[in-house]
Amino acid sequence: MRSTRRRTWALLAASMAVAALAAPMGISMAGRAGAPAPAPAATGPEPAGAECRTSVLGSRVVAYCHNPYPSTDRVQLHTECRRWWDIDADAAPVDVAPGRTVRLDDRCWKEVDAAWITHRVRDEL
């Protein structure tokens, strides 16, 4: 007789423990069922812009720009000369179509102090 009573109490205690553990999950699922679907995450801007590599050798600057993205990128080479009397230069802007590579070059009379590329994606033009 005692073993049946013990089994009953053990089964009852186990059932209550399972119910106590499952109740929060059931409440959580019930709350989600009536709620609208979550909004999709906002997408960031689409990647754009050519990748450029610039090299300086003496008084000459050469830059190669490759555009792997589907939008056209307008690039421009800027050269700053080291000597105060040497005129700094800005090359003409060039459009880099998708999948294309362009070569930009410029020079100073003497040494080059700095050279950089500016970008402007075609959508912004």
Convert the pLDDT of each residue in 58-114 to its tens digit: 999 999 999 999 999 999 999 999 998 888 889 999 999 999 999 999 999 999 999
**pLDDT score recorded for residue 28:** 65
3-state secondary structure (DSSP) of residue 51: strand
Question: Under CATH, which architecture does the 51-124 domain have?
Answer: Sandwich (2.60)
Decide if 69 contacts 98 (C-beta within 8 A): yes
User: What is the pTM for the complete model shown?
Assistant: 0.61
Tokens 């912004």 locate to: 124
